[in-house]
Amino acid sequence: MKRADKETFVAEFQEKVRETPTLFLTDFTGLDVQSMTELRRRLRDSGAEYLVVKNRLAKRALVELEIPDLSEFLTGPTGVVVAKDGPVPPAKTLVEFAKDHQDRPTFKVGVLDSALVDAQQFERIAKLPSRDELLAELAGAMQAPMAALAGALESKLQETAGLFEALKQEKEQEG
């Protein structure tokens, strides 16, 4: 790789990492070209990008960014997942893909909002509901008290209407 190409890679990689609060480092040892292509497609569908990086260039790019030091994890074959649409869909995709491909790629470390994510935290992230599911749950939770209030108000209106009807009948009988 020529010097200009390396500099371009470092600049582009830095820009991608700056644009997203989430990245995961993986070891893709044991995956063939067809599997890598499938992994890239699945991650792209989940709103992420998979980049195979040279560790030396990745170290150079990440040094200038305001994220934790990842140099100890930049050994061996390294693939970086840059998640643009949040951490949950790409994490789920990586876990599902690994189940189908003999636990490959393996998770090394992640960065989520400038904090390191270890393997246990990554597994928990992968088990979270998607953003849309969480929003639907929140909407349902917010709707339940409103529906209860509407039901209570409706029953009071019906009760008041019943009282007025009873009063009307009583007046008609008197007069």
What's 151's DSSP letter?
Answer: H
Report whether pLDDT(151) > 90: no
pLDDT tens profile 15-70: 999 988 899 999 999 999 999 999 999 999 999 999 999 999 999 999 888 889 99
Contacts made by residues 91-100, CB under 8 angstroms, sequence distance 24+: 91/24, 91/122, 91/125, 91/126, 92/46, 92/126, 92/130, 93/42, 93/43, 93/45, 93/46, 93/48, 94/24, 94/26, 94/43, 94/126, 95/123, 95/126, 96/42, 97/38, 97/39, 97/42
pLDDT tens profile 79-127: 999 998 889 999 999 999 999 998 999 999 999 988 999 989 999 999 9
Q: pTM of the entire structure? A: 0.74
Q: How far apart are CA 107 and CA 94, in angstroms?
A: 9
